Structure 1
Amino acid sequence: MDFDISKLPRYDILCIDFKSYYASVECVLRGLDPLTTYLVVVGDLSRRGSIVLASSPLMKSTYKIKTGSRLFEIPQDPRIHVVEARMNTYIDFSMQVPKILNRFGPMECISIYSIDEIFYTYDSQSLFGDKWTAAKTIQKTLKSELGLPTAIGIGQNYFQSKSCLDCISKHSEETGYIAEVTYETFPDLMWKFPIRDCWGVGRQMERNLNRLGIYTIGDLANANLPKMKAKFGVIGEQLVFHARGIDLTNPYFKPKLDQNAITQKGFGSGITLMRNYEGEDIITALLDQTEEVARRAREVKMNGRTISLSIGYSDDVGGGGFSISRTIATPTNLTRKIFEVCKVLFYQNDVKRPVRNIHVGLTNLSTDDIAQLDLFEDDSKERQLMSTMDEIRNKYGTASVVWARSLTDGGTVIDRSGKVGGHKS
């Protein structure tokens, strides 16, 4: 299947991105210019290994400090402001953006992509002029009212506008960080970029495509469509069309959710640890993640049979890790049972290296309406205990009741309680 681009629907879509969002908000709150200030936002100032969540443009260009760097990597320079994240504040700023865009068009034209990116479908018949004029006006309005600098990618569909933003607009100082692509200009403007810059291509997919000799977006656009579909399924077909600038998403379509049709596929909880964990500290952190997964399952009265564990080793020892799962006979949502399986999986696959990432998952779900009885073990008292613990947590907070070992050095529950997205609110 292929498309004649002359017959494809065309919209004027703006993908708006706030430059170094968290850092920019912190600059604004301090009366500083985000584009001329050295500022870094970290998750926790009390931990030297805390992750950098955002850095101002000057920090990136001058010191190469970016998202994912560590607190101890930040130079000791009096010009640099190092601040702790305030997630609720960033959310509050973000919630003002749709209200501002609503002045330029109806809410159905607005689609929120993330806390710092938003799609806006512009009506060319609007009173605000053509798309470029509107983009500049929106950019100036956001800067004057929120103090935040933006970059805007303009395209004829979602994929074009997002790709234009990431690859071109963010680096186009001469045009005020606004750029545009169309079906006709997409090959000349976009095909030269490496495949990793293609929206929707992660590290694993990049490696898979590289093995096929695909290194640029242009290579992907010219890949054999039947072979790509045979190897990657519908995803392979979609990747090729995207690389050709084709995206048939209707920006005005907002599906109505059928609550009766929504089913939970699984539960998962993961953490990037603030330091290298070894020995019993790993098991403690593993228990904390297991408890979170089990609690979520109990909350919606679901059990699971397949328990998965992913471990990521520290980059200090070369990184790497493993992911493995095991399916048990009787579905469960009890922390103890899930934890026992996770420990076995860990000890069977661990290579005795410092751990930095832990993720626990529970899938292959069934409802908990009728408890399945184990002929060799009566867990009714344990179920009642877990239910009581959950009730206390719901009323008084996550850290109101914790496992004893979660209070040791390896525990993560107390530190993460009350945070938003794992960071201080």
Structure 2
Amino acid sequence: MDYSLYPKNDVLCIDMRSFYASVEAVKRGLDPMKVMLAVVGDTSRPGSIVLAASPALKKKHGISNVSRFFELPNDPAIHIVQANMADYLHVSLQITRLLNSFAPKEAIHQYSVDEVWITVNGLEKLFGNRREIAVQIRDAILTDFGITSTIGIGDNKFLAKVVMDLHAKKIESGIAECTYEDVPNKLWPFSVEKIWGIGSRMKRNLHRLGITTLGQIAQFPLSHLKKHFGVMGEQLYWHAWGIDLSPVFGDFTKTTQESFGHGISLLRDYTKKEALTCILDLCEEACRRARTAKKAGRTIHLGIGYSSETGGGFSRSISIGTPTNITMEMHQVCVQLFNKFYDGYSKIRRVYVTLTNLTDDMDTQLDLFDERPKQKDIGYVMDTIRDRFGATAILRASSYTDAGIILDRSQKIGGHWAKSMEN
């Protein structure tokens, strides 16, 4: 492979180790790397997921981020903490501001709350070479926040991310580097499922072709990969050679909104009547987001998952003649889909709705003889009130029933408590 044909940048991928658990440990004056601490999504529910486990807890008891609250051992040395998403977001923002002291904001790409790419091209005279910059960032994060980080260094974002996952997390310094030329030795021997971007389904498909390592992908004919996997096959091939042409500078926050949807995994089984209330709340949230973006949708999607006793569910959509962002119009369509495809007896545990096939709201045709203009105005007025006084300032009466979900969701971020229940 002639790597001289491809861009070579100085990219760092930074991951905060056991981020949620580390934040909680620091808040309590504990050492994040030595204390046994578990962050639980909802400590009032035995089945709630363990969102983060400290390294010591993982090592001693084998607890992972897919464990459940009830699986935690009865060990008095374990600190069990209610998730506090507002704190984690605050610390994440503070760390990003720290990174901004090393590089301009257009060189920082926030991948998740605890992981970020930063491009450090041309900063040698200020901070040294890219490895020296990585050491300074690692030390600054530890000094300012008490949090241990691992850093991958690569010629592009893919190499930085993968070398961090495969190597940096396993060495004492927490810093590993991979250039184009290092790819055969540092990446090719690893199993495909260990490579960022390859999930279980792709792993099975690759295994059917006799491909088990990244090196075997690199040696597989590109034309055959494209035949089997289309565009994904081509990406697999170039990634196997360490080539990634995704931008390393720019406004990474701008994305094209293709749909507005909301979903929820319910804390208990819902009846048909309760599910319809839940659907209304979800439609309210989806349409509010669409109105904020000045968009309306022509296709409405409803998904229902049944409880584990019966399993199954359905996922159906329908397109309407006039694009909408009116809550009751969307809800009416969802009710039609529900009545048509619900089996009539199963308890319901998951619900999601989506408004897609979007168009600009101003493109919507209004009939002078119907009530749609008034309904649209009501929606925008309700949005204004909520923007000014809070998401729960004005609600439909059904939202106050036991089946309503908006009041509960208003206290959460990403499905987890925004503030600790002990606060």
In structure 1, the residue matched to 2:263 is 270
Does the residue aligned with 2:416 lie in a helix, a strand or coil?
coil
State the Cα distance separating 1:153 from its structure 2 match: 1.3
C-alpha distance 229-346 of structure 1, shift in aligned 2 (>3 A): farther
Does the residue aligned with 2:151 lie in a helix, a strand or coil?
strand
Output one character per residue of 1:359-401: Cα deviation in whole Å (capped at 9) or x when no partner.
2111112233265357996444433443443333223222223
Is 2:291 the counterpart of 1:294?
no
In structure 2, the residue matched to 1:37 is 35
Structure 2 gap segments, 5+ residues each: 419-423
TM-score by length of 2: 0.85
In structure 2, the residue matched to 1:67 is 65
Say if 2:286 and 2:354, in contact at 8 Å, map to a contact too: yes
C-alpha distance 341-191 of structure 1, shift in aligned 2 (>3 A): farther
Does the residue aligned with 1:296 lie in a helix, a strand or coil?
helix
In structure 1, the residue matched to 2:421 is none
C-alpha distance 263-153 of structure 1, shift in aligned 2 (>3 A): closer
Counterpart CA distance in 2 for 1:129 and 1:94 is: 25
State the Cα distance separating 1:143 from its structure 2 match: 1.0
Judge which range, 301-310 or 199-208, deviates more: 199-208
Output one character per residue of 1:95-138: Cα deviation in whole Å (capped at 9) or x when no partner.
22234334545555433222211223345734645444443333
Letter of the aligned partner of 2:164 in structure 1? L
State the Cα distance separating 1:325 from its structure 2 match: 1.8
- What is the percent sequence identity of the aligned residues? 46
Say if 2:124 and 2:130, in contact at 8 Å, map to a contact too: no
Counterpart CA distance in 1 for 2:107 and 2:361 is: 41
Counterpart CA distance in 2 for 1:298 and 1:52 is: 35
State the Cα distance separating 1:201 from its structure 2 match: 3.0
Counterpart CA distance in 1 for 2:279 and 2:205 is: 31
State the Cα distance separating 1:296 from its structure 2 match: 1.6
Is 2:325 the counterpart of 1:328?
no
TM-score by length of 1: 0.85
In structure 2, the residue matched to 1:138 is 137
Say if 1:399 and 1:413, in contact at 8 Å, map to a contact too: yes
Counterpart CA distance in 1 for 2:126 and 2:293 is: 49
Say if 1:12 and 1:154, in contact at 8 Å, map to a contact too: yes
State the Cα distance separating 1:186 from its structure 2 match: 1.6
State the Cα distance separating 1:205 from its structure 2 match: 4.1
Counterpart CA distance in 2 for 1:350 and 1:207 is: 33
In structure 2, the residue matched to 1:248 is 245
C-alpha distance 94-246 of structure 1, shift in aligned 2 (>3 A): same
| Number of equivalent positions | 416
C-alpha distance 121-55 of structure 1, shift in aligned 2 (>3 A): same
Counterpart CA distance in 1 for 2:360 and 2:104 is: 41
Say if 1:220 and 1:243, in contact at 8 Å, map to a contact too: yes
C-alpha distance 226-376 of structure 1, shift in aligned 2 (>3 A): farther
**1:348-359 residue pairs with structure 2 within 5 A?**
348-350=340-342, 353-359=346-352
Counterpart CA distance in 1 for 2:296 and 2:304 is: 23
**1:17-416 residue pairs with structure 2 within 5 A?**
17-122=15-120, 123=122, 125-126=124-125, 128-170=127-169, 172-173=170-171, 175-251=172-248, 253-254=249-250, 264-313=257-306, 316-317=308-309, 321-350=313-342, 353-369=346-362, 371-373=364-366, 378-416=371-409
C-alpha distance 75-407 of structure 1, shift in aligned 2 (>3 A): farther
CA RMSD of aligned residues (A): 3.1
